[in-house]
Amino acid sequence: MELLSLNQLKFSYPNSERGRLDIERFHVNTGEKIFLFGPSGSGKTTFLEILAGVLSPASGSLIIDGTELTKLSHTQRDAFRADKIGYIFQSFNLIPYLTVIENIALPLNLSHERRKLVPKNQELQKIQAIALRLGIQDLLDHKTSELSVGQQQRVAAARSLIGHPKLILADEPTSALDFDHREKFLSLIFDICKEQAISLIFVSHDRSLQSLFDRVVALADINKAAVKNNGGLA
């Protein structure tokens, strides 16, 4: 089953030649784990932000879980993202003055759909369960500003996974970890994705992890504007 289907997508930033995307087709199956790579500046974050509905393309079609995102308003896309997508930001975007538990609970407070799946009276138990699996169970009452980078990363993962999203978009979330920790962190995310049939798009410029994924995609291979982005050197 196809969860995400993108066709004839064109995107450019206003008044800039950089970060242009021209992608004929890209699709993701339900439960599929994709490794998307490309050098720094090649448009990986831009692409994820389009898939998340943060940026909107100039033309083309993007269907996720049966919804055509390009037909939605900005507000509708925000609601769609809150309901269906877990986004792990490159810099985590945790709220420093909130505790770990409050950060993990955020998506439940932003989405009716996720709240239905994790009602208030089950919230603590669900958060504790996911925190235990990620090894952050003893940190739940700490402010996230008190945590190490590796711990913050696991909080960001827990937040993205709470309340059964359909799709996880992970933007180089392991860049601050050494290889062993990266593999361990990934296998935890993989386990949870597998149990809940969540699809994963994992972005990195470090190809040492790619063999762990179902499919490996080079952004330059699918992006027809890539040659121009690199001044013809790609």
* Sheet with 33-37, edge to edge strand ranges: 85-88, 167-171, 199-204, 33-37, 215-218
42 binds Mg ion (CB under 5 A): no
Single-letter amino acid code for the residue at 114: R
Which C-beta is closer to ligand ADP: that of 20 or that of 114? 20
Q: How far is the CB of 199 from Mg ion (least distance, A)?
A: 20
Which C-beta is closer to ligand ADP: that of 46 or that of 199? 46
Cα–Cα distance measured from residue 227 to residue 82, given in angstroms and rounded to the nearest whole number? 34
Q: How far is the CB of 57 from ligand ADP (least distance, A)?
A: 14
Q: How far is the CB of 14 from ligand ADP (least distance, A)?
A: 7
Dihedrals φ, ψ of 214, to 5°?
A: -70, -35
Place of tokens 């994992």: 202
Q: How far is the CB of 207 from ligand ADP (least distance, A)?
A: 14
Up-side HSE of residue 199: CA atoms within 13 Å toward CB?
20
Which C-beta is closer to ligand ADP: that of 66 or that of 232? 232
Decide which of Mg ion, ligand ADP, none touches 144; Cβ closer than 5 to 8 Å per partner kind: none
Assign 137 to helix, strand or coil: helix
Q: How far is the CB of 87 from Mg ion (least distance, A)?
A: 13
Judge contact between 20 and 43, C-beta under 8 A: yes
Q: How far is the CB of 165 from ligand ADP (least distance, A)?
A: 21
Kindly state the tokens that stand for 131: 């925190």
Contacts with ligand ADP, residue ranges (CB under 6 A): 13, 16, 18-19, 38, 40-46
Which C-beta is closer to Mg ion: that of 45 or that of 229? 45
Which C-beta is closer to ligand ADP: that of 41 or that of 119? 41
Decide which of ligand ADP, Mg ion, none touches 111; Cβ closer than 5 to 8 Å per partner kind: none
45 binds Mg ion (CB under 5 A): yes
Contact region for Mg ion (CB under 5 A) — 31-39, 44-52, 152-160, 173-181? 44-52
Dihedrals φ, ψ of 203, to 5°?
A: -100, 135
Which C-beta is closer to Mg ion: that of 44 or that of 84? 44
- Enumerate binding residues for Mg ion (CB under 5 A): 44-45
